Chain A
Amino acid sequence: MHELSIASEIFKIVQSHAPHGRVLAVGIRLGAWSCVQEESLRNSFRWVTDQTDYAQTRLEVERIEEIWICETCQQSFDQSKGISDGVPNCPWCGQRLGLLDGLQEMRVEWIEVQEDWETRGD
């Protein structure tokens, strides 16, 4: 349900950068724990852009994996294990990793526009 709110915010960002439409695609990054269901987000985005100049804009989603940061040596580490496997040890210093980063991230990374269409920066 909250995907509708997120889709609305994505739409506002796209409009602010390309106010005259003709945006081919918008690329977003979602953290592993951003609590966003991708299909629901796509449906919501289609719904909020329906019957606008952005109705054909594609939503391209990149998922960010879990990134752990060791509290002892401050090295970062991507891990592929599920969270239920527990907190892993740092591959660099062997201590138990303590911090998580990037998990909640939700960003619009880029938009793809037609070259001849006026755009505006942030």
Chain B
Amino acid sequence: MEPRILQVRTKILKANDTLARQMREDFMSQGIFVSNWVSSPGSGKTLWLELTLRRMIERGHRVAAIVGDLETDRDARRLERSGARVRQIMTHGLCHLEAEMIHREWKDWELGSIDYLFIENVGNLVCPTSWDLGESLRVGLLSVTEGEDKPLKYPGLFNTCDVVLLTKMDLAVACEFQQDAAIENLQTVRPGVEVLKSSGKTLGGLEAWIDWLEERSGRKKR
């Protein structure tokens, strides 16, 4: 018999996207603002997240975090120092988090007791790009030590970010970091993206970041 073509036209990650959409609806109906943090390894995600959790708690928010790494629960133990509820996902080699992993960790938490959920993805500028985790906000981090051309080298990931934090700004001069070029490169791959500056060392930009986050999530609580 002759071969026949069947039109399928289905998104390859449809199963992930469907679960992520359902989770997003659940999160939103419970008033939980979820962000998914993506960057290269060593960009300062964990430090900035620890500072964010600590400051959010001081401002009266109920916060939780899920952190993904290939191995070890070091980041979870570090983030727990902030006082937030934290879960560690060890992917054992997988280079990104998927919606099912978040759903597994999340489903036994009491939804009504949390205002903000922060998901720290596996450090990687490629693989997390395509996996929706049910977030309302995707946060990219770009450290000055990586160089201002990273957005052009990894356009796929930066194209998905709603906001990008330039981290380790205290090292900008030493690294001869060209801030304007970095911002222009980000705007090239993601026109209109918000760009904020930060330093986990000096705490520069922390209050502005928390203000921005509260504004974006529609919660001002002081």
Q: A residues within 8 Å of B by Cβ?
A: 1-2, 5-6, 9-10, 12-13, 17-18, 24, 28, 33-35, 71, 83-84, 86-87, 97-100, 103-104, 106-116, 119, 122
Contact = CB atoms under 8 A, between A and B. Distances in A.
Contacts of B13: 6, 9, 106
Contacts, number: 111
Interface string B4-41: 11111111111110000000000000000000000000
B133 to A, nearest CB: 14
Contacts of B2: 115
A51 B51 CA distance: 50
Interface residues of B, number: 36
Contacts of A13: 8, 10, 12, 14
Interface of A, secondary structure class, is mixed
B11 A113 contact: no
A119 B192 CA distance: 45
B9 A107 contact: yes
B96 interface: yes
A109 B7 contact: yes
A27 to B, nearest CB: 8
Contact of A112 (B4, B93, B96): B4
Given A28-B12, A35-B156, A114 B1 contact: yes
Interface stretch (B55-63, B81-89, B123-131): B123-131
Given A1-B94, A106-B130, A115 B7 contact: no
A110 B8 contact: yes
B189 interface: yes
